[in-house]
Amino acid sequence: MARTAVVTGGTRGLGRAISLALRDSGCKVAATYHSNAAAAREIQEASGIAVYQWDVADFDACADGLAQVTQQLGPVDILVNNAGITADATFHKMSKEQWWHVMRTNLGSLFNMTRLVIEGMRERRFGRIVNISSINGRKGQIGQSNYAAAKAGILGFSKALALENAKHGITVNVIAPGYCDTAMVAALRPKVLDAIVAGIPVGRLGTPEDIARVVAFLADDAAGFITGATFDINGGQYLA
Ligand code: CAA
């Protein structure tokens, strides 16, 4: 029976590749997006993947959205908490809004989305949760105290959740991608980006597919003994 997967931020960047990889492994995929309707239309037309618009930082919007997904595709078996934003600034210049926008979107969303699916997963005794952290939640990064805090928070959240749910057929794992070829990274100043690429031993940015294939692996029914783990996929840039 096809599993139902929800990928937040699933229409662009890493999320787009993750949605496609899960679709290719036989899942019914719901990809959420926040504001880029053109990108959502593109993946829907190209792949037939169902897209849903809501703000993952808003609990009530998540509840409404997940109710629609469940009605149309069935109960959620696989949740990929991928949606994330940056609002980079060195901390002494960071506004309250930059701090909370990133915390609400990149970490608060994990409470919202996961809280709404976890009870059903426990009842059905199956779940796969994959949370997308970042190399910068592992090592820190100038200009990202908000983002690094949220991404490091994902690690603790995931370990606690993995322990609580291990006996219920639910696995919870983290992927910490390095710098990948996405719009988020392309937005960096060229000089900053060049310096970053020079520090990646593999000698290139990651591709979204480099990340997506590991998500599909972890989401598989056969991956039931892998839980509470963090996978660094960063071309050797940071060895934890
Ligand atoms: N390594 C070493 N030093 C660095 C540095 C780095 N990567 N980045 C900045 N600095 C230094 C600068 O040289 C500067 O030092 P001095 O004051 O001694 O000259 C100081 O930090 C302040 O930097 P800026 O002059 O650039 O300050 P700014 O206010 O103009 O810009 C910034 C700040 C916007 C944060 C900018 O530094 C920047 O874009 N940094 C990169 C942030 C980054 O890597 N973001 C990742 C986005 S992609 C992503 O998040 C995906 C993922 O998960 C990997």
Q: What is the pLDDT of residue 121?
A: 98
All residues at 6 or more sequence positions from 65 whose CB lies less than 8 Å from its CB, including other chains? 32, 52, 53, 54
Q: Tell me if the domain spanning 4-233 has CATH number 3.40.50.2020.
A: no
Mutate to test the pocket of ligand 1, among 86, 141, 142 (most ligand atoms within 8 A of CB): 142
pLDDT surpasses 90 at 88? yes
Residues paired with residue 230 on neighbouring β-strands, in sequence order: 174
Q: What is the mean pLDDT of residues 133-162?
A: 98
Mutate to test the pocket of ligand 1, among 138, 188, 192 (most ligand atoms within 8 A of CB): 192
The encoded tokens of residue 6 equal: 């929800």
pTM of the model: 0.97
Nearest CA to ligand 1 atom 14: 142
Task: Grade residue 1 by pLDDT with cuts at 50, 70 and 90.
Answer: confident
Q: Which residues line ligand 1 (CB under 6 A)?
A: 86, 88-90, 93, 134-136, 141-144, 147, 179, 184-185, 188-189, 192
Is the CB of residue 118 less than 8 Å from the CB of residue 96?
no
CB neighbour class for 93 (10 Å; exposed up to 12, middle 13-18, buried from 19) = exposed
Q: DSSP character for 48?
A: -
pLDDT in tens, 160-200: 999 999 999 999 999 999 999 999 999 999 999 999 999 99
Give me the residue spans of the domains in the chain: 4-233
Q: What is the mean pLDDT of residues 231-236?
A: 98
